Amino acid sequence: MRKRSFLLAGLGLALALALVWGFNQYTLARTLGLQQQNQYRQAYSDMVGHVDNMENFLAKARGSNSGNNNLINFTGAWQESNAALNDLSNLPVDNPGSSHIAQFLNQAGDFSYTLAQRMAGGGSIKPEEQKVLANIQETARKTGQDLQQLMNRADYEELGWTPKPTGWWFRGRAEADTTDATNPASVSQGLQLLDAQLQKLPPLEYEGKFASKVTQEPKGLPGGEVSKEQAAANLNKFFAQAGLSFNPQYAGAAQGTIPTYRFNLNGDANTTAEASKRGGVPVIYHNGRSIGERVLTPEQAKTKALSLLRAVGYPSMVLTSQEDHGAYLDLAYVALEDGVRIYPDKVSVSIAMDNGQMLGYNAQPYLMFHRQRSIGKTKLTVAQARRYLKPNFKVTDTALVLLAKDNYAEVLCYEFRGNMDSEQYLVYINVSSGYEEQIYRVVKTPVGEYLK
């Protein structure tokens, strides 16, 4: 009898402890859930505010004829679009970065940034850009209204942020059963419906890296698609020119900016090469072999790289950057035409430091952009262009370069490398207008230099 009493008492105590533990877990989960709901609410509210501010800046830009005011308006719209994108990333939406909401915000910001740069240089808005501006502003206005309505429902109708669980053991209507596009069952579904609405809009046509119409076709490839057998034969010729010998084995097709045939070399999946479907031109090569003791100097490796580039069909190249990884050297070269560095036409080579063998090769940028160009002439001398630099900028090197901008446009510039306040920079001055097209900060590391 006494044992039974002890057993019952023990069971009762265990039950009480379980109830206390369960209640504490429930309280903790509820607290965490409320915190998460508050975070969603704050991010969403901030996003609504930023979209509204962006629309306001764009509306003022439509009505203003002042370059100075529109510099402020377009800069403000660009900053607000970036802030809205950041808020979107903190909301319970699948793949927020690839959604059509994100695409619209990216395009609105990109368009605004492009025009802000032009305003800073004393330029003006083109007539066709006025139409794009009107489309973006109207889309921003409608999007802002839809976002505000959804937030009102979340506040006053207690609309949930995430889908309700589905299944027979849950009561009430599950979100999966909701098909009314005007009555979403959660904020996340409301954002999905808004995303679908934006998807139906016609593409925005303007010059910018997020513009729908900017699709770059490879300019450096010959015409006509080749078979994988012809591509393999072209790779064998390329390897022979580079002093290598491999047996390419077809491993499939690769899609991308340049569609290619992929090959494993000598049956090794770590040693691969790709040749373009169009023209059968070698695009990428990578050798995953083990590297022995370092015996070459960096200068010997660079001499070997230039010799290899000449052998495979790149006679006039200039080194623009290098990274020393100990066992191998990564080297980037650009085409040199009439003393002008053509930065879009780049080829990268990796050289093994044990025997000078080519371990890596990437000609994709060169094949994308290389073509016969009319580079143009300089209107400013180097001395005249230097006047557009800051007075305390101490120039250490100068070059004439063709610079690629975000929208694939190319502009002839003087490149000034120099120092200011113990920092090193690269500054690009337009040879015609004196406009500062770009500036990079040069960051030195044990491996090499990086541009930021």
User: Given this model, what pLDDT does residue 276 score?
Assistant: 96
Radius of gyration of the chain (CA): 30
**Residue that has been written with the tokens 């001055």 in this structure:** 429
Give the pairing of strands 423-430 and 410-420. Answer: antiparallel
Most confidently modeled range among 100-109, 119-128, 296-305, 436-445: 296-305
CB 416 within 8 A of CB 386: yes
- Euclidean distance between CA atoms 442 and 452, whole angstroms: 7
Q: At 168, is the pLDDT very low, low, confident or very high (cuts 50, 70, 90)?
A: very low
Nearest-CA neighbor of 418 among 377, 375, 374, 388?
Answer: 388
DSSP code for 177: G
Write out pLDDT tens, residues 212-262.
544 468 899 998 999 999 999 999 999 999 999 999 999 998 877 899 999
User: Given this model, what pLDDT does residue 287 score?
Assistant: 93
Q: Packing angle between helix 67-88 and helix 2-63, nearest 10 degrees?
A: 160
- Euclidean distance between CA atoms 227 and 253, whole angstroms: 11
- Euclidean distance between CA atoms 391 and 223, whole angstroms: 50
User: Given this model, what pLDDT does residue 167 score?
Assistant: 44
Q: Would the pLDDT of 50 be above 70?
A: yes
Specify whether domain 382-451 bears CATH 3.10.450. yes
H or E, element range at 433: none
Nearest-CA neighbor of 71 among 136, 105, 121, 128?
Answer: 121
Q: Which residue has the higher pLDDT, 397 or 5?
A: 397
Q: Would the pLDDT of 76 be above 60?
A: yes
DSSP code for 419: E
- Euclidean distance between CA atoms 84 and 280, whole angstroms: 44
CB 312 within 8 A of CB 241: yes
Most confidently modeled range among 122-126, 206-210, 398-402: 398-402
User: Given this model, what pLDDT does residue 307 score?
Assistant: 95
Write out pLDDT tens, residues 93-152.
655 544 778 888 888 988 888 888 888 878 888 888 889 999 999 999 998 888 888 878
pTM > 0.85: yes or no: no
Write out pLDDT tens, residues 80-93.
998 888 888 887 66
Three-state secondary structure string covering 334-384: EEEECCEEEEEEEEEEEEECCCCCEEEEECHHHHHHCCCCCCCCCCCCHHH
